[in-house]
Chain A
Amino acid sequence: MNIIITIAVTALVVLYAGLFKAKKALLPLTLLGLLVSLGFTVCSWDQPTVHFGMMQIDNFALAFAGISIIGTFLIFLLTQRYFAENSPNVAEYFTLILFALCGIVIMVSYKNLSMLFIGVEIMSVCLYILAGIRKLNFASNEASLKYFLMGAFSTGFLLFGIALIYGATGSFDIDVIQNVLVNSVSNVSPLFYPGIILMMVGLCFKVGAAPFHFWTPDVYEGSPSLITAFMSTVVKTAGFAAFLRLFAGAFEPLHDFWMPALMVIVIITLCLGNITALYQKNFKRMLAYSSISHAGYLLFSLVVLTANSASNVLVYAAAYTFASIVAFAVLINVKQKTGSDDIESFNGLAKRNPLAALALTIAMLSLAGIPLTAGFIGKYVMFLNVLENYQIILVVIAILNALVGFYYYFRVIIAVYFKEGKEIELDTPMQYKVVLVVSTIVILLLGVYPSFILNLI
């Protein structure tokens, strides 16, 4: 609870600091607030509490809240020289990102379906505005409108699902719903089945799993790069935490019913994301498709539910978050210099910028899932999880897709190291260097000592 309060108060303080033209104080204030909330997260570890029957702060919630806060912290470090040049209203942007984070913390710790809805909406409404931050840029406008229409549409599905489940059980509390299911698995009210499917559709929209992914590439490409980084890392992680809490918790007794539908979604997501990513010339759009394919791998944890599902998602999400942040940091830097975010603009990057090139390479290796990086551990635990139930076909499809993934991730590495380019020299600010170094170290550490995070929850 104090995590949410801290973040919300920080957001308001930052807004007022902006009102009084204290531009220099914005970033330190935000980072301080995030550090304090991270401190609260660490302090409440191993003390599960329930607040007002609405929010359940257990280790699951704390772990995902922690990773979201760390991800947001790194993204805020990247704001240096990013927003300030583009607009006089930096404080509003900071506030909106913080409010979105507030919604995310609610999303990962809800106990009542109404809190799920409120968390999703707080996050989404902030993101609609953030996607359209560049008011005069047409791509940004388009991204914002598309995101808004699709977001509102998916909220409708989510709500209809919630209403039907309420009709079947008479409660919004996920523990009560689970109890009802456990006690009457054989004769559940027929309202329950469409309810589950509609909620699955709504949540798949939010996490961008195919066939509900069509908004993702456009929105990710059109939004400002930093907001895309936030959407594809922190927001996605939160979406999966919410997915997991509901489907691995409350709807677990009906696993046999919803598993086939989910399996189809996983297979379509994997194939579509990876194969379309092959044809992308634009780095940002390629990352968008790669994020769709990673959503497919993350959904593996729900195909076979084991005691490890939550920690598997945590490992994968952590690996994906850090690697993506590095990729976006380098992208922002390159774009500021060359004005283009095509893969070609990365040609010959390594000659003058060894640090950025090395960090980008390690991030790409981690996204592809090469051993000794965090991404490998993430994929490994996911595959292992599914193999426990002998879903051989699924694993074969996933491994083929991982091989396809190698191709387009390595294309970036080849462009950076082996192609002749304009030999641009990036002027990487100090904070960018910090983010690059820290994220790279975390990726390698998680790749070598995964037990640290695997045993967290």
Chain B
Amino acid sequence: MGSLFENMQSVPLNHYIWFCAIIFTIGVVGVLTRRNAIVIFMSVELMLNAVNLLLAAFSVHHNDPSGQVFVFFIMALAAAEVAVGLSIIVMVYRNTQSIDINVLNRLKW
């Protein structure tokens, strides 16, 4: 455990922040530009994982375990969300034979 901490601390905190910000941005751009529900969903997971990495880095930096505990919460709730989300996508697929979100335009102003 100690060596893991040292390894993580050997990379400056700024690098973690920039790295996570970049992954997060890739996720956001993916959600906004892709049209396939599953790919959008993957992009959301990318965003959440960027947050997880950032929390772990901050946790080591502050020498405070609560950040890592939070990561577990995010993982558990993300798993719950995946279960519900995939079943919603399956439900939509059964009715429309498609998971392209452009099909979802029946409700319009």
Q: Chain A interface (Cβ within 8 Å of chain B)? A: 114, 117-118, 121, 125, 128-129, 132, 135-136, 138-139, 141-146, 148-149, 152-153, 155-156, 159-160, 162-164, 166-167, 170-172, 191, 217-218, 221-222, 276, 279-280, 285
Indicate if the CB atoms of A153 and B91 lie closer than 8 Å: no
Q: How many residues of B contact A (CB 8 A)?
A: 42
- A-chain residues with CB within 8 Å of residue B77 when the two chains form the complex: 117-118, 121, 125
- A-chain residues with CB within 8 Å of residue B27 when the two chains form the complex: 156
Indicate if the CB atoms of B109 and A136 lie closer than 8 Å: no
Indicate if the CB atoms of B109 and A276 lie closer than 8 Å: yes
Contact check: which of A128, A142, A144, A280 meets B109 at CB < 8 Å?
A280
How long is the Cα–Cα vector from A138 to B55 in the complex, in angstroms? 39
Indicate if the CB atoms of A128 and B84 lie closer than 8 Å: yes
Say how far B71's CB is from chain A's closest CB, in angstroms. 10
Beta-carbon nearest neighbor of B27 in chain A: A156
Say how far A353's CB is from chain B's closest CB, in angstroms. 29
Q: Does B74 contact A (CB under 8 A)?
A: yes
- B-chain residues with CB within 8 Å of residue A279 when the two chains form the complex: 109
- B-chain residues with CB within 8 Å of residue A144 when the two chains form the complex: 88, 91-92
Q: Does B96 contact A (CB under 8 A)?
A: yes
- B-chain residues with CB within 8 Å of residue A221 when the two chains form the complex: 107
Indicate if the CB atoms of A117 and B88 lie closer than 8 Å: no
Indicate if the CB atoms of B84 and A163 lie closer than 8 Å: no
How long is the Cα–Cα vector from A15 to B106 in the complex, in angstroms? 34
Indicate if the CB atoms of B58 and A145 lie closer than 8 Å: no
Beta-carbon nearest neighbor of A169 in chain B: B62
- B-chain residues with CB within 8 Å of residue A171 when the two chains form the complex: 64, 66
- B-chain residues with CB within 8 Å of residue A145 when the two chains form the complex: 37, 88-89, 92, 101, 104
- A-chain residues with CB within 8 Å of residue B47 when the two chains form the complex: 153, 156, 159-160
Q: Which of B70, B91, B96 has the most CB of A within 10 A?
A: B70
- B-chain residues with CB within 8 Å of residue A162 when the two chains form the complex: 51, 70
Q: Does B31 contact A (CB under 8 A)?
A: yes
Indicate if the CB atoms of B44 and A117 lie closer than 8 Å: no
- B-chain residues with CB within 8 Å of residue A160 when the two chains form the complex: 24, 47, 50-51, 54
Indicate if the CB atoms of B85 and A148 lie closer than 8 Å: yes
How long is the Cα–Cα vector from A129 to B31 in the complex, in angstroms? 21
Q: Does B8 contact A (CB under 8 A)?
A: no
Indicate if the CB atoms of B92 and A114 lie closer than 8 Å: no
How long is the Cα–Cα vector from A172 to B104 in the complex, in angstroms? 38
Q: Which of A149, A155, A156, A164 has the most CB of B within 10 A?
A: A156
Q: Which of B86-107 contact A (CB under 8 A)?
A: 88-89, 91-92, 95-96, 101, 104, 106-107
